[in-house]
Structure 1
């Protein structure tokens, strides 16, 4: 792992992946309420809004989802993933095909999963400092990798080719030499909500 002396974070755009169907949860987990009354999605978006000036919310066709106050239509973009039914890979492919055209100045894209409300904005900012067009930046806590994963622009064309599957694992595996791990003190990078039992208990 290398050390970067860069102090100003480079141009990183975020993709909030919220196009899943929540099969294990048994309902639309994006609307699940946390202990403070906010929805799961609204909580994640609040963190994203603190960390990234530019971000896209990726949802599925026919969604009537209310993203919450953190989403400002004047500044943020909503992207409908036509291939969301094919899994995370399908949604990522749709998203990166748009980014290649719409985000000409960004050098990297942070893939944020919508069901990770404990992720810290400070962690996101730290990862941004390590972003480079030729890197795949991955946070690591207690030896376990997590999200967001920052894909340098070099890898966007390959990501844009995804049509199905469980994400970009094959692309990461095929480009191991480009992977840049960053140790963070934040279990929020891998703590997510897959089932109702994962929701925090009320106070």
Structure 2
């Protein structure tokens, strides 16, 4: 495990893994959730939360979820925002957690080193996101001070994108292109 460095409080890892993966041909969680959990854990996140939806039964059958707080999202078809809201609401019940590192299940190029870089900037009022060659990407670290408004305002399949845009002056970009890849997997 990589040490947290300057992080204040604990940072939860939150994997959004509820989608149906239509372009992929089926849910991605059974294939990519294990590595995503490992990257967050090895990068210093504790605890780890995974939001499941489509394919949850299969995911539970094939992925080692020991030590992971698994949350089922019955509204997964609404889009990514419903999973983000559910994950943040779950983290809000953990008083020792000051921030969450939001990771998308289908981003196998993200490394534990990238997560650790983001966590080094984490605190309750942070908005921090990974960048790859200057382009914003994931993971994103959201400080506890922002959770209530994000839960209240996020809708659809955009996650916290609109919130981060509205607060662009407070977002810290952390370049991770030298230690990770910001690509996602949409097709088999």
Q: Distance in 1 between matches of 2:88 and 2:6?
A: 25
Which of the pair has more CA radius of gyration?
1
Match of 2:63 in 1: 68
The residue correspondences of 1:29-108 to structure 2 (distance < 5 A) are 29-31=28-30, 39-51=31-43, 52-60=45-53, 63-64=56-57, 65-66=59-60, 68-69=63-64, 71-72=65-66, 75-100=67-92, 102-108=93-99
Q: Distance in 1 between matches of 2:102 and 2:166?
A: 18
Structure 1's unaligned 5+ residue stretches are: 1-5, 32-38, 197-203
Q: Report the Cα offset of residue 117 of structure 1.
A: 1.6
Q: Report the Cα offset of residue 154 of structure 1.
A: 1.1
Match of 1:156 among 147, 159, 169: 147
Report if aligned partners of 1:83, 1:94 keep a CA contact under 8 Å in 2: no
4+ residue segments displaced more than 6 Å: none
Summarize deviations over 1:50-91 as a string: whole Å, max 9, x none: 12231101001772023623x21xx32001123211000111
Structure 1's 30 and 76: CA in aligned 2 closer, same or farther, altered over 3 A? closer
Q: CA RMSD in A?
A: 1.9
Q: Does 1:16 align with 2:15?
A: yes
Q: Report the Cα offset of residue 171 of structure 1.
A: 0.6
Q: If each structure's strand is expressed as a fraction of its own residues, which one has the higher value?
A: 2
Match of 1:36 in 2: none
Q: Report the Cα offset of residue 8 of structure 1.
A: 4.0
Match of 1:173 in 2: 165
Give the total of aligned pairs: 179
Q: Distance in 1 between matches of 2:147 and 2:120?
A: 19
Summarize deviations over 1:76-115 as a string: whole Å, max 9, x none: 2001123211000111112222222x22121111110011
TM-score by length of 1: 0.80
Report if aligned partners of 1:134, 1:178 keep a CA contact under 8 Å in 2: no
TM-score by length of 2: 0.86
Q: Report the Cα offset of residue 28 of structure 1.
A: 2.3
Structure 2's unaligned 5+ residue stretches are: none
